Amino acid sequence: MIQHNLHRLLVKTAASLLAVGLCGCTEKIELDTDNAKPVIVIYGVLTDVPSFQEIEISSSTGYFNNQPNPKISDALVSITAEEGTEYTLSEVDTLPGLYRTSVLMSGTPGKRYTLNVKTDFDGDGVGETYTAETTMEQKIDLDSITVTTPEMMGYAFYSINMYAMDVPNKSYYLIRYQVNDSVYNKISKYIVFDDMGIEEQYIQAASIGYFPDVKEKERFTEEDSKHLTFIKRGDTVRIQLCSISKGYYNFLLQCQKEIAGENPFFGGPLSNVVTNLSKGAIGYFGSRTISEKQHIAPARK
Amino acid sequence: MKLDHFFQKGFLSLLFDISTSISMLLCVCLTFATAKSNAHTTVSAAELSLNPENRYKVSGTIRDYQTKEPLSSVSVHVKELKKGATTDKNGFYSFALPEGTHTFVVSSIGYKTQTTRISIGAVTKRDFILEVDTLVMKEIVVEERVLFKEKKDENVTRTIMGVEKLSMGEIKKMPALMGEVDVIKAIQLLPGVQPTSEGSSGFSVRGGSADQNLILLDQSTVYNAGHMFGFFSVFNNDVVDKVQLYKGDLPMMHGGRLSSLLDVQLKEDYKGKLRGNGGLGLISSRLMLEGSLGEKNSWLISGRRSYADLFLKLSSDKSMRESSIYFYDLNAKMTHRFSPFDKLSMNLYMGNDNFGSSVARFSYGNKVGSLNWKHIYHERLYSNLSLHLTDYHFLLQSELENAKAKWVSNITDLTVRWDFVRSINSDLVLSYGVTSTLHRFNPGLITQPDYDDFKMPVNNTLEHSLYLSAEQEVTDKLTMRYGLRWGIFQNMGSATIYTYDKNYEAVDSTTYGGGKIYNTYHALEPRVGVVYKLTDQSSIKANYTRNTQFIQLANNSSSGSPLDLWFPANPNIKPQAMDMVSAGYFHNFNREAIEASVEIYYKKMSHLIDFADHAQLMLNRKLDGEIRVGNGKAYGVELMIRKNTGALTGFINYTLSRSERTIPEINKGKSYLSPFDKTHSVNVSVSYALSKKWNFSAAWVYSTGNPTSYPTGRFEVEGEYFPIYSGRNEYRRTDYHRLDLSVNYVPKHNTKRFWTGEWNFSLYNAYGHKNPWIITYDQDTPTGIPEANMTYLFGVVPSITYNFTF
């Protein structure tokens, strides 16, 4: 939590310096890079809510390749629970590369699940089996959320604040949010933090993010607006608080760090994102427990 | 949020945009600042040999015409005999001459040369007064060398290799970014030295990282030498006398870093009427005053502050008025001479950067203080006893609603050192001493109003050293320097040390009580250097040096950051070590007017520290688990030609080098390039004095692009693309090059005037080359396919500065 807050601050401070003192001009360039040999990419996150659980399978491609990443069809996909129950996932007809359980399935906190994907990715006529395991974390209950209306630096914001009790043991949080019907379910929009500084304490009205009021929209450049989520009075804000494993937490943080390339002051050397899949596959098989609350954005005071 | 979006003057930049500071007054009241004088006298060997038959001792003092100060390092040359001497610290020279009439040529950089015929017939005392040579600007190089005799031909005779010297006069003439004359930017033009990133105060010496440089301000450590995220250095050019950079072969009295020592020496004490200088620039303004109090005391005080924010105080926008962005430096120095043999001086430095708004504050800075007592026992022995206190801190505070927090971190050193220099005879000079430092590392205390404090454990360590070094003229042609430094490093409780399994997961821990020494490392560092003079103008040199580093920075960003967290060696982390051999050929032309050198070096580093991929370095109680250790090597050739006198002065250098690391858990164990590896590097710095009024300078920099990683593949998750890298640092950015120009104009040139002003106009990056600073990727494109973007920091940056002296 602390790091999440401090990092936000730092990046802003450095950015303001650059914006003020230096030219800091950005322009598009062409990079001539090799294209690495494609590898299989498997991603799926099991939840504790009864649902058709999904796994997506695709192939990596050259970074600047102008075609979308190829989807991998006809794989044999299954998830096996610790006690031996096996769930088969079959490819969705209209969405190649996306596999779903045929029955409603929910994970149980504390239990281990194994993913098996069998496919002939390397095209040698013999199928390979890629596996990964995840153990579902204990659920953390989101007691409530509030939406407040701070003014900061002359701008009107909505702050979404959470209330929850941090559990004993190290915990890792993932927050996904939804405003009305827009679900922000991309990794770059996730809010990810650990319990540093709030260990076993009651999380009291901690802001998980500041969202500008829609009335401020015209004060932003188009480029900035693209990356911001605006909220207006009367919007329904829905928050999912998820408890995730350390491995999945690292995967998400690393994805967020790597997605945009170099970060001069606070980024380390560019590196590959970790995976928990076997045999050279990349991606992640994770799990999350979900506790959900919603709130209506109030009128500004 | 992507950083490049902040570059545009969008909303987020406004959050912290420039505006007023109210703390200026507070800061001034709070502080004073630093620097310790490294004070040793050079006992000239010539002085010690007295006259045999029909030879007469000639001696005297050489002073500045205007200030009446004694001048050191002035060359007194007897033309007929091709014999000479150099004045010592007190402006005193002496030698023995046969009877007869001789032509004395007295010269020093920055002064008009005097030629006088003198008859020698009895013990002769002869003083000289030198006038400033206005053509060469007012560059009074008050040289004071620590261990070794400083001579005009030291390029050829000096036993230490890889030493680069710049006088403040030289630095001031170089074009500077935004007109801020900067010693660190100047040394980045020297062979084997590179900035860690564009515009940064961090520098890499022979491929090493920035934390492998020991930076001393009058012998006191400065942990972070940058202002404004490193774009300006903390050294105020008004008070700096000169800088010396030792590229690996460190003087025996110093150690503790693998790559280099940057020795920044402040002005010596001044005895005379109140005088000062200062300047008004685009970024900051400066004022320095110095004078004496009675015959025995002298003082100096100097300040510098950036002031862009003061203008924005007038802003109509409340949030703008509430924010601040500025830095300042304060230096103060007091000297008291108890007797001709005892000098006590006190130095203080304090500098700070402040970025603030109504919702956040970020500040950081150094505080350095020292007390020195220099004592001359007799003409062959003197010592310097000193006490140093150094602190670097940063503070990050959020006042955001529902996210209030404050993080304070610092590193504090308390050092005592006692150094001696003893001349055994004219051929042998010994230097020896002892140092002891207490380091206190406080990685962070975080306070949050609604939660318990989060406290990182404070680490205490002791670092001691004992050294003995000899400089010996074995024959007329052969001079040797040899010595040994014994470093001792001790970890002190209270502390909890974790043990890690092969996956770097903490499996066990041991807790040690307060004050208990629970781990000790010893390091023996032999250093040897040999100079063989081929002729009076040329020599070959070779040396071997071993350096050990016990503390390092937990930072893996390319440009460094003000969030400096130093951490010590401990039972999990062995001290880093470096062995370097180098050799070179040195040649002076035209009576030392032109110096040329070729140096070749090879260095091997062991227990070299790098960090795991995606390492969590901040606020991590198990930081040791993020460290990966391996070996490194670096080698290269450095060519330098330099012209010191005449209307056209400057240097040109070329470096061919390579630096790589091999660490089992990084890059799958394959060797990878150091982020600071640059195959080719060329620097040209020239200055031309057209007349007394006009001086033109130019600097051109070229280097191979920095190694970096470009993605060779991408994978897709939830509709977003993420990069895949084939390895670390397998690509390079495009080559870097830049031309800077400046003009210095002195409207009324008269040294006898009370006030002399001069204008400096400069252009940074004169032909506007777009040098990539960072490469980022954007997939919010019309096609949905990622694009690469290059951010460059500087276009053409013009600036104007007014400097004055009175």
User: Which of B107, B136, B165 is the last residue before a domain boundary?
Assistant: B136
pLDDT in tens, B205-234: 999 999 999 999 999 999 999 998 888 999
The residue in chain B having the minimum alpha-carbon distance to the alpha carbon of residue A221 is: B10
* B522: in domain: yes
Q: Are residues B30 and B125 in the same domain?
A: no
Banded pLDDT at A12 (limits 50, 70, 90): low
User: Which residues of chain A are within 8 Å of residue B282 when distances are taken between CB atoms?
Assistant: none
Three-class secondary structure of residue B707 per DSSP:
strand
Would you say residue B1 has pLDDT above 70?
no
pLDDT in tens, B651-662: 999 999 999 999
Banded pLDDT at A15 (limits 50, 70, 90): low
- The better pLDDT of the pair B753, B244 is held by B244
Q: Are residues A237 and A155 in the same domain?
A: yes
Q: Nearest Cα to B520, choosing from B497, B543, B565, B550?
A: B550
User: Which of B119, B136, B153 is the last residue before a domain boundary?
Assistant: B136
d(CA B51, CA B25) in angstroms, rounded, equals 62
Average pLDDT estimate for A250-270: 90
Chain B residues 66-125 within an 8 A CB cutoff of chain A: none
Averaged pLDDT of chain B = 86
Q: Are residues B50 and B111 in the same domain?
A: yes
Would you say residue B66 has pLDDT above 80?
no
Q: Are residues A114 and A175 in the same domain?
A: no
* A218: in domain: yes
Indicate yes or no: CB of A265 within 8 angstroms of CB of B358: no
Chain A residues 183-212 within an 8 A CB cutoff of chain B: 185-188, 196-198, 201, 204-207, 210, 212
User: Which residues of chain B are within 8 Å of residue A198 when distances are taken between CB atoms?
Assistant: 451
Share of chain B above pLDDT 90, in %: 61
User: Which of B136, B158, B173 is the last residue before a domain boundary?
Assistant: B136
How far does chain B reach from its first CA to its final CA, in angstroms? 51
Indicate yes or no: CB of A62 within 8 angstroms of CB of B713: yes
pLDDT in tens, B156-172: 888 888 888 888 888 88
Neighbours of B29 (CB within 10 A): 7
Would you say residue B141 has pLDDT above 70?
no
CA B672 to chain centre: 28
User: Which of A83, A106, A135 is the last residue before a domain boundary?
Assistant: A135
Looking at residue A18, its pLDDT comes to 53
* B192: in domain: no
Looking at residue A179, its pLDDT comes to 94
User: Which residues of chain A are within 8 Å of residue B6 when distances are taken between CB atoms?
Assistant: 11-12, 14-16, 18-19
Q: Are residues A57 and A129 in the same domain?
A: yes
Would you say residue B47 has pLDDT above 60?
no
User: Which residues of chain A are within 8 Å of residue B4 when distances are taken between CB atoms?
Assistant: 26, 260
How many structural domains does chain B have?
A: 2
Q: Are residues A235 and A145 in the same domain?
A: yes
The residue in chain A having the minimum alpha-carbon distance to the alpha carbon of residue B733 is: A31
Q: Are residues A97 and A151 in the same domain?
A: no
Max alpha carbon distance in chain A (Å)? 67
Looking at residue A285, its pLDDT comes to 98
Indicate yes or no: CB of B228 within 8 angstroms of CB of A24: no
Looking at residue B51, its pLDDT comes to 37
Highest mean pLDDT among A4-18, B102-116, B432-446: B432-446
Q: Are residues A118 and A146 in the same domain?
A: no
Indicate yes or no: CB of B359 within 8 angstroms of CB of A152: yes
* A235: in domain: yes
Looking at residue B63, its pLDDT comes to 86
Q: Name the DSSP letter for residue B24.
A: H
Q: Are residues A127 and A220 in the same domain?
A: no
Looking at residue A10, its pLDDT comes to 61
Q: Does A33 touch chain B (CB under 8 A)?
A: yes
Q: Are residues A102 and A186 in the same domain?
A: no
Tell me which of A6-10, B103-107, B553-557, B648-652 is least confident.
A6-10
- Domain extent at residue B759: 4-36+266-805
Q: Phi and psi dihedrals of A2, rounded to 5?
A: -60, -45
Looking at residue B457, its pLDDT comes to 94
Banded pLDDT at B644 (limits 50, 70, 90): confident
Indicate yes or no: CB of A19 within 8 angstroms of CB of B13: yes
Strands (E), A63-181: 76-81, 86-92, 95-101, 112-119, 128-135, 142-148, 151-152, 155-165, 172-179
Contact B496, B457 (CB under 8 A): yes
Report the DSSP beta bridge partners of residue B497. B510
Neighbours of B252 (CB within 10 A): 26
C-alpha to C-alpha distances, B518 to B491, B548, B609, B622, nearest whole angstrom? 6, 20, 22, 18
Looking at residue B133, its pLDDT comes to 64
Q: Does B707 touch chain A (CB under 8 A)?
A: no
The nearest CA of chain B is from the CA of A196 a distance in Å of 8
The residue in chain A having the minimum alpha-carbon distance to the alpha carbon of residue B19 is: A20
Q: Are residues B496 and B355 in the same domain?
A: yes
Banded pLDDT at A214 (limits 50, 70, 90): very high
* A1: in domain: no
Q: Are residues B521 and B662 in the same domain?
A: yes
d(CA A90, CA A55) in angstroms, rounded, equals 9
Would you say residue B23 has pLDDT above 50?
no
Q: Are residues A66 and A111 in the same domain?
A: yes
Q: Which residue has the tokens 């540093």?
A: A196
Would you say residue B484 has pLDDT above 80?
yes
Q: Nearest Cα to B626, choosing from B667, B660, B666, B670?
A: B666
Average pLDDT estimate for A124-151: 95
Q: Is B637 exposed, middle or buried (0-12, 13-18, 19+ CB in 10 A)?
A: middle
pLDDT in tens, A94-128: 999 999 999 999 999 999 999 999 999 999 999 99
Banded pLDDT at B37 (limits 50, 70, 90): very low
pLDDT in tens, B72-98: 878 888 888 877 888 887 888 888 888
- The better pLDDT of the pair B12, B776 is held by B776
Peptide bond into B494 cis (omega under 30): yes
The nearest CA of chain B is from the CA of A15 a distance in Å of 5
* B270: in domain: yes
The CATH number for A157's domain is 2.60.40
Indicate yes or no: CB of A266 within 8 angstroms of CB of B721: no
Q: Nearest Cα to B269, choosing from B297, B302, B247, B304?
A: B297
- Domain extent at residue A114: 40-135
Banded pLDDT at A226 (limits 50, 70, 90): confident
Q: Nearest Cα to B605, choosing from B556, B545, B560?
A: B545
**Long-range CB contacts for residues A273-276, cutoff 8 Å, separation at least 24:** A273/B722, A274/A247, A274/A250, A274/B614, A275/A132, A275/A251, A276/A132, A276/A133, A276/A134, A276/A247, A276/A251
* B165: in domain: no
Residue B586 carries which side chain, given as an amino acid letter? Answer: F
Q: Does B722 touch chain A (CB under 8 A)?
A: yes
* B186: in domain: no
Mutate to test the interface with B, among A7, A17, A229 (most CBs of B within 10 A): A17
Q: Are residues B25 and B125 in the same domain?
A: no
The structure tokens listed for B29 are 């009241």
Q: Are residues B101 and B14 in the same domain?
A: no
The residue in chain A having the minimum alpha-carbon distance to the alpha carbon of residue B319 is: A153
* A177: in domain: yes
Averaged pLDDT of chain A = 91
Average pLDDT estimate for B267-283: 88
Indicate yes or no: CB of A148 within 8 angstroms of CB of B402: yes
User: Which of A110, A135, A160 is the last residue before a domain boundary?
Assistant: A135
Average pLDDT estimate for B448-466: 94
Neighbours of B393 (CB within 10 A): 19
The CATH number for B99's domain is 2.60.40.1120
Q: Are residues A118 and A184 in the same domain?
A: no
C-alpha to C-alpha distances, B736 to B178, B765, B771, B792, nearest whole angstrom? 19, 11, 6, 11
* B720: in domain: yes
Q: Are residues A121 and A145 in the same domain?
A: no
User: Which residues of chain B are within 8 Å of residue A41 when distances are taken between CB atoms?
Assistant: 715-717
Banded pLDDT at B756 (limits 50, 70, 90): confident
Highest mean pLDDT among B97-101, B544-548, B552-556: B544-548
How many structural domains does chain A have?
A: 2
